[in-house]
């Protein structure tokens, strides 16, 4: 209901719209209109009230109501229609919500966005700090006609899309990618990406990609253990707030473009873009996976997205998964 009221206020803005007209058009009582206007005001919308003329929208907060970011969205698959966008104020984790939708047969391109996650999850069973309106907490559902072996590329693809979106919005912020898909600025993590899939050996049922971008989070808000390793776009933008609405639209557009390109042209263009933004290649790294720890120089990414690391003895190993530490920075 709140969104419908908002749509009417926007349609009439900068003019007033009467409570009676809204109630009539939405087939609800005027009290219901009044209550929902109160809720919008509590969200930060500035709405003028006049006993004679009704309500008038004056200022919009940086919330991710689909109406606020999806109006001019130029995507063909991802969030390409309003019905594909599932917006929540608070969830445990967008992963839970999108999994349920996927299991019920939701179409490719469905997205879930939340203003806040109370149980946001990171890689390796870690938690992911997701305060209200502090970042972009997003999940995307894809049903690619690929084999499970080809999915690591989707993870790389998401990091390229986020990096490009950040640079499009904030050209002076030098976002780069640590293999496979952490987006860092000045050595600190600004975005984490988590991909899960449901598949049989040769067919994918669905892939869900979770993207968490720290946007307007102040330094003091990060937990102690994140203080030296995490950053936000607000901090990298000289303590100026960054539009989550614009960034969300850019991320979805870049994801859509790269995904369609991947399906039509294969992995090479994605890998080329990934290499452009890589902060891993050419560095001495430590890579840890479930089996062992390996030291060497990160020399390449192969066509499947695996990191190629060359050990002291010249031996090259291809890693499909693992945690990389850049030896110079310890990150």
Residues in the site for ligand BTN, rule: CB under 6 A? Answer: 93-95, 117, 120-123, 126, 128, 130, 137-139, 182, 192-194, 210-212
Residue nearer to ligand BTN on the CB measure, 12 or 123: 123
Residue nearer to ligand BTN on the CB measure, 6 or 98: 98
Q: How far is the CB of 59 from ligand BTN (least distance, A)?
A: 28
Q: Give CA separation, 207 vs 84, 111, 165, in Å.
A: 16, 12, 21
Residue nearer to ligand BTN on the CB measure, 5 or 326: 326
Residue nearer to ligand BTN on the CB measure, 21 or 116: 116
CB-CB neighbours of 277 under 10 Å: 17
Residue nearer to ligand BTN on the CB measure, 29 or 127: 127
Q: Give CA separation, 190 vs 55, 173, 218, 288, 319, in Å.
A: 39, 11, 12, 22, 24
Residue nearer to ligand BTN on the CB measure, 54 or 212: 212
Q: How far is the CB of 153 from ligand BTN (least distance, A)?
A: 17
The C-alpha atoms of residue 210 and residue 154 are separated, in whole angstroms, by: 11
Q: How far is the CB of 127 from ligand BTN (least distance, A)?
A: 8
Q: How far is the CB of 159 from ligand BTN (least distance, A)?
A: 10
Q: How far is the CB of 277 from ligand BTN (least distance, A)?
A: 16
Residue nearer to ligand BTN on the CB measure, 46 or 126: 126
Strand stretches in the chain, DSSP E: 46-50, 54-59, 85-91, 111-117, 135-142, 175-178, 182-185, 188-200, 203-214, 284-288, 293-301, 307-310, 316-319, 323-326
- Closest CB to ligand BTN belongs to which residue? 192
CB-CB neighbours of 89 under 10 Å: 14
Structure tokens at 31: 């009290």
Contacts of 132 (CB under 8 A, 6+ apart): 89, 90, 115, 116
Q: Give CA separation, 29 vs 1, 48, 53, 71, 249, in Å.
A: 12, 20, 17, 28, 34
Q: How far is the CB of 248 from ligand BTN (least distance, A)?
A: 12
Structure tokens at 189: 């993590």
Residue nearer to ligand BTN on the CB measure, 43 or 196: 196
Structure tokens at 238: 């000289």
The C-alpha atoms of residue 211 and residue 166 are separated, in whole angstroms, by: 13
Q: How far is the CB of 211 from ligand BTN (least distance, A)?
A: 6
Residue nearer to ligand BTN on the CB measure, 38 or 118: 118
The C-alpha atoms of residue 85 and residue 70 are separated, in whole angstroms, by: 9
CB–CB of 304/207 below 8 Å?
Answer: no
Q: How far is the CB of 312 from ligand BTN (least distance, A)?
A: 29
Q: How far is the CB of 91 from ligand BTN (least distance, A)?
A: 8
Among 32, 50, 36, 35, CA closest to 7:
36
């Amino acid at each position: 209901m709140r969104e419908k009221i908002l749509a009417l206020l926007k349609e009439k803005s900068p003019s007033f719209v009467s409570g009676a007209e809204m109630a009539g058009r939405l087939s609800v009582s005027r009290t219901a209109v009044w209550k929902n206007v109160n809720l919008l005001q509590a969200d930060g919308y500035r709405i003028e009230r006049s006993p004679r003329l009704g309500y008038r929208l004056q200022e919009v907060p940086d919330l991710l109501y689909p109406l606020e970011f999806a109006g001019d969205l130029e995507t063909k698959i991802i969030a390409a229609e309003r019905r594909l966008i599932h917006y929540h104020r608070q969830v445990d984790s967008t992963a839970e919500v999108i999994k349920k939708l996927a299991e019920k047969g939701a179409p490719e391109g469905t997205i879930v966005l939340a203003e806040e996650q109370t149980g946001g999850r990171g890689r390796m069973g870690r938690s992911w700090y997701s305060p209200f309106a502090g970042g972009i907490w997003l999940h995307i559902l894809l049903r690619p006609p690929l084999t499970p072996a080809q999915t690591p590329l989707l993870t790389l693809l998401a990091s390229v899309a986020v990096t490009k979106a950040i640079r499009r919005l904030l050209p002076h912020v030098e976002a780069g990618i640590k293999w496979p898909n952490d987006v860092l600025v000045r050595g600190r993590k600004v975005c984490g990406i988590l991909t899960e899939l449901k598949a049989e050996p040769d067919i994918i049922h669905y892939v869900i990609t979770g993207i968490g971008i720290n946007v307007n989070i102040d330094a003091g808000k990060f937990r102690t253990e994140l203080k030296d390793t995490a950053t936000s776009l607000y901090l990298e933008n000289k303590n100026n707030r960054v539009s989550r609405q614009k960034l969300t639209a850019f991320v979805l557009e870049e994801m859509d473009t790269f995904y369609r390109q991947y399906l039509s042209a294969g992995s090479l263009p994605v890998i080329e873009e990934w290499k452009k933004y890589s902060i891993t290649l050419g560095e001495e790294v430590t890579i840890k996976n479930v089996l062992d720890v390996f030291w060497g120089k990160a020399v390449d990414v192969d066509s499947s997205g695996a990191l190629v690391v060359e050990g002291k003895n010249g031996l090259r190993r291809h890693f499909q998964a693992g945690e990389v530490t850049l030896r110079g920075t310890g990150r």
